[in-house]
Amino acid sequence: MLIVMSHAATKADVEGVVKTIEEMGYQARPMPGKQRTAVGLVGNDGKVDASRLLGLDGVLEVIHVSQPYKQVSREWKSENTIVRLPGWLSIGGDEVVVMAGPCAVETEAQIIESARAVRDAGAVILRGGAFKPRTSPYSFQGLGKKGLAFLKKAKEETGLLIVTEALDPEGVDAVAEVADIIQLGARNMQNFSLLKAAGRTRKPILLKRGIAATITELLLSAEYLLAEGNDQVILCERGIRGFDPATRNVFDLTAVPVVHRLSHLPIIADPSHGTGLRDKVTPMARAAVAAGADGLMIEVHPRPDKALSDGAQSLTPDQFGELMRQCRAIAEVIGRRVAEPAGAAR
């Protein structure tokens, strides 16, 4: 529920609303906005009797949020959330932000070579997993903390920001020390203790859609993060399980406009996991930008045939350079631009 204050409402009026919400046994989230101040009411599991709030000084109206998720909904907040990253970069505004790099950090040399290659092609964020969620326990599980140290070096060498995955609640703090964005993977979208731990950090979170998750379930998982006080959340469409083995997943690009309608949070697209096949990545990256995605996540490896994970869907640096050129052109057509590395002249 959202309690909308009138323009003439005073600070004391807002405090009065907060106090009453707390007396009713719920939590209050005051939200000073550009057009209006509103106070969100959370902690209810069902309808709340609004009459007590409607009678308070300065209250203009009470809006019942009709969706099962509250704080992530457009009803709760009409303006787009802009996720602020260190430096000049943000996600959710006019710029399309590209994150690229290998599936996994394999060696120091490999991640630094990858970082230089994706930066030279125009990526602004380096991806690479140090902790890898693998379907088989016998597959490469990632370098762990050593991988995080290599990512830190790659950041120092190239100035790229870092996105990397936290696999469990215990690992969140170590990842947060190095990452500018903490990735929560598809297999963990409904790991509620991980969501709560990540929600307690103040780092931006990249939340990937689960392998068989509906958009409502994705938004409810994001709600866990906001409920813990972290509203710096980026959603990611990365394909869902389908019946056709022609591609690894069904890359559901309708999720982009659907999420933009239902939520104020930005959504990026990952056509690498979405398709699983190298030659499908660039066409679907173009389509994602055209669909309005706020960013792309692309797997790039200096030698995809030698990659320890996801080589079949990893682009070579040259292929990634071409993807960037094409996506810049498409972004322009829809009145956006692809974010450029600081100081880049193209």
Q: Which residues bind Mn ion (CB under 5 A)?
A: 103, 310
Backbone angles phi, psi at 29, to 5 degrees: -125, 90
Binders of ligand PEP among residues 259 to 288 (CB under 6 A) are 273
CB of 119: closest distance to ligand PEP in angstroms? 19
Please tell me the distance from the alpha carbon of residue 145 to that of residue 156, in angstroms, as a whole number: 17
CB of 274: closest distance to ligand PEP in angstroms? 9
Which residue, 106 or 310, is less far from Mn ion as judged by CB? 310
CB of 187: closest distance to ligand PEP in angstroms? 6
Q: Which residue is nearest to ligand PEP (CB)?
A: 185
User: For the chain, how long is the longest CA-to-CA vector?
Assistant: 68
Query: 100 touches which of ligand PEP, Mn ion, none (CB within 5 to 8 A by kind)?
Result: none
Which residue, 103 or 331, is less far from Mn ion as judged by CB? 103
> How many other C-beta atoms can be found within 10 angstroms of the C-beta atom of residue 134?
14
Which residue, 302 or 341, is less far from Mn ion as judged by CB? 302
CB 164 within 8 A of CB 130: yes
CB of 128: closest distance to Mn ion in angstroms? 10
Q: Where are the beta strands (DSSP E) in 143-244?
A: 161-165, 181-184, 205-208, 233-237
Binders of ligand PEP among residues 129 to 188 (CB under 6 A) are 129, 133, 185-187
Which residue, 2 or 103, is less far from ligand PEP as judged by CB? 103
Long-range CB pairs of 87-92, under 8 A, 24+ apart, other chains included: 87/161, 87/342, 88/342, 89/124, 89/125, 89/161, 89/339, 91/204, 91/234, 91/266, 91/268, 91/294, 91/295, 92/234, 92/265, 92/266, 92/294
Sign, CA torsion 164/296/317/300: positive
Which residue, 3 or 186, is less far from ligand PEP as judged by CB? 186
Query: 324 touches which of ligand PEP, Mn ion, none (CB within 5 to 8 A by kind)?
Result: none
CB of 196: closest distance to ligand PEP in angstroms? 19
Please tell me the distance from the alpha carbon of residue 315 to that of residue 305, in angstroms, as a whole number: 10
Please tell me the distance from the alpha carbon of residue 266 to that of residue 151, in angstroms, as a whole number: 25
Binders of ligand PEP among residues 207 to 266 (CB under 6 A) are 208, 238
CB 234 within 8 A of CB 296: no
Sign, CA torsion 184/188/193/195: positive
CB of 309: closest distance to Mn ion in angstroms? 6
CB of 129: closest distance to Mn ion in angstroms? 7
CB of 186: closest distance to ligand PEP in angstroms? 4
Q: Which residue is nearest to Mn ion (CB)?
A: 103
Which residue, 39 or 91, is less far from ligand PEP as judged by CB? 91
Residues in Cβ contact with 212 at an 8 Å cutoff, skipping those fewer than 6 apart: 240, 241
Which residue, 145 or 187, is less far from ligand PEP as judged by CB? 187
Q: How many residues bind ligand PEP (CB under 6 A)?
A: 9
Query: 144 touches which of Mn ion, ligand PEP, none (CB within 5 to 8 A by kind)?
Result: none
C-alpha 129: how far from chain center: 16
**103 is a site residue for ligand PEP (CB under 6 A):** yes
* Contacts with ligand PEP, residue ranges (CB under 6 A): 103, 129, 133, 185-187, 208, 238, 273
